[in-house]
Structure 1
Amino acid sequence: MARFNGTMVALHSPRMNGRGKLMFSRAVLLCLFLVLSSLPVADADAEQQSSEKALREHYDLQEGKRLYGEYCRFCHGEQGKGHAFNVTPPPADLTSPAVQRKSDIELAQTIHEGERGTAMGSWKWALSKEEKQYVLLYIRWLAQSR
């Protein structure tokens, strides 16, 4: 006898013979096995998807860093502060709240078209849409890492 939700439940019947007890035990074990074996599979799938996403993000960030180094670092500097090149007006501090408040679309537009009245030129012919997204990801990362 066992108590389940305040009710006494017979786990076996005195009338259940040896074969009945064996079948009952097997059914309980099978149910327990099915429930327990399904849990780690779900966790493993979620963990694999999470690690694949982290790997993609790491690759995208590394590609953004490479492109930033090639196209942006000369003016904006290693840390994105805009101190690298002596021009007037000075290059934007990419880590500043004013720049980081801009939407991804606004920043991508600036990378694509340039900024009128500044030394920021257009990169529409040099960078693909995907490459601009990598650079944008890296610019966002620069602000978070400061």
Structure 2
Amino acid sequence: MRVVGIMLCVFIGIASVGFGGGELKKLPASGKEYDAVTGREIYSNTCIRCHGIDGKGTRGLHLVPLPADLTSPSIQSRLDGSLFKRIHDGKPNTAMGAWRTALSDDEIWDVLAYVRTFRQE
């Protein structure tokens, strides 16, 4: 009987996560390619001021904390969904604002495709 109770709790937990209606953004359908070239253009118009042309952050900028180094392993190892959420929603208590009203979801995915080109070998 105890096993049945545990299985029931696990099932209810899984079902509540699936039907919870949380605020998580849907990730793109697998296989859809986003455009790093378009992403580069958007990055140049919106992100370059803080993150710099090479993604390492603009020198001489006096922001606290400093903008993220987009080439770093700590950024490049993050999941796409996590980085999408950071661009979409911003980062509290930093200069990284939310871009959800200025960029469409597809534009954010394009920027993310470009940011992935900063990955160091």
Shorter-chain TM-score bucket reads: 0.5 to 0.7
Structure number with the higher helix fraction is 1
Task: Verify: 1:76 aligned to 2:51, yes or no.
Answer: yes
Read off the aligned partner of 1:142 and give its amino acid letter: F
If the length of structure 1 is used for normalisation, what is the TM-score? 0.57
Q: Tell me, in whole angstroms, the C-alpha distance in 2 between the residues paired with 1:140 and 1:77.
A: 15
- Show the counterpart of 2:81: 105
C-alpha displacement of 1:117: 1.6
C-alpha displacement of 1:142: 1.6
Read off the aligned partner of 2:74 and give its amino acid letter: A
User: 2:50, 2:67 within 8 Å by CA — same for their partners in 1?
Assistant: yes
C-alpha displacement of 1:86: 2.2
C-alpha displacement of 1:91: 0.2
C-alpha displacement of 1:83: 2.7
If the length of structure 2 is used for normalisation, what is the TM-score? 0.68
C-alpha displacement of 1:112: 0.4
The structure, 1 or 2, with the larger RCO (C-alpha pairs under 8 Å, 6+ apart) is: 2
Read off the aligned partner of 1:104 and give its amino acid letter: D
* 1:32-71 superposed matches below 5 A: 60-71=35-46
Paired residues in the alignment total: 89
Q: Tell me, in whole angstroms, the C-alpha distance in 2 between the residues paired with 1:88 and 1:82.
A: 12
Q: Tell me, in whole angstroms, the C-alpha distance in 1 between the residues paired with 2:87 and 2:63.
A: 18
* 1:1-146 superposed matches below 5 A: 60-84=35-59, 85-144=61-120
Read off the aligned partner of 1:110 and give its amino acid letter: R
C-alpha displacement of 1:90: 0.3
Q: Tell me, in whole angstroms, the C-alpha distance in 2 between the residues paired with 1:140 and 1:60.
A: 11
- Structure 2's unaligned 5+ residue stretches are 1-32
Larger radius of gyration: 1
Tell me the C-alpha RMSD between the 2 structures.
1.9
- Structure 1's unaligned 5+ residue stretches are 1-56
